[in-house]
Amino acid sequence: MKTQNYILVLLIAFSCAMCNSSKKDKEETVTTEKIAKTDNDKHPVLTPKDSLKMVNHSIEVKGDVEFPLNLTVDSLKKMKVVMLDDFKVVCQSGEVKKDNKVCKGVLLKDILEKAKIKQNGHKDRNFYIVARASDDYKATFSWAELFNNPTGENTYILFEENGKPVKNGEMIAICKNDIKTGPRHVYWLKSIEVYKVK
């Protein structure tokens, strides 16, 4: 009987030890995940010299378009320029990163209409548009968002903020009606790329 009790006590002790070990492993995993997420959310801080390397003086409109374009601030100013009031850049956490009182830019859909997406008839609408930055940051839009949705009237390529030229690059892509405007706020804009969904 004593042997059975002794074995039972050992089994209970072993089970408790394993249970605590499992909890500890889970806690370490959660802690590691939190640290990893925090580290991944941080963007590297660029020196002014490195930041200047990212600036583009023109943006290329390319891909599935009939008329590829190379646009500068001057060429955008010759298009239908729109003024935006009170545009805030809000990151995923909800923090306001930038608060512009007045901006000037051109609707992205006006640029795409000028480049003319290669559509085979009016039912050919399965395209996506990528706004790409020099550091390869990307924001995507669908054809339907830009041409069959209020987003089309709220997606711009900006060249002026608060009466001054854009700081981070010469042109920025933004979508004003996104709830969190930061994820599709593309500075150092390098290209607007049109692709057909395959």
C-beta atoms surrounding 120 within 10 Å:
7
pLDDT of residue 168: 77
Q: Which of 114, 61, 106 is nearest to 84 (CA)?
A: 106
pLDDT of residue 128: 97
Encoding tokens for residue 63?
A: 């891909």
pLDDT of residue 16: 52
pLDDT of residue 38: 38
CA angle 113, 118, 120 (to 5 degrees): 120
Task: With a cut of 70, list the residues of the chain below it in pLDDT.
Answer: 1-52
Q: Which of 142, 102, 109 is nearest to 126 (CA)?
A: 142
Q: Which domain holds residue 26?
A: 1-42
Question: Are the CB atoms for 196 and 67 separated by under 8 Å?
Answer: no
pLDDT of residue 9: 52
Residue with tokens 């039972």: 8
Examine the domain organization and report whether 15 and 112 are in the same domain: no
CATH number, domain at 80?
3.90.420.10
Q: Which of 76, 75, 61, 88 is nearest to 194 (CA)?
A: 61
Examine the domain organization and report whether 103 and 188 are in the same domain: yes
Q: For the chain, where are the alpha helices, taking DSSP H only?
A: 2-41, 48-54, 73-77, 108-115, 143-147
Examine the domain organization and report whether 26 and 67 are in the same domain: no
Q: How far apart are CA 97 and CA 157, in angstroms?
A: 18
pLDDT of residue 36: 37
pLDDT of residue 60: 97
Q: Which of 82, 70, 138 is nearest to 110 (CA)?
A: 82
Let me know how long the chain is: 198
Q: How many domains does the chain have?
A: 2
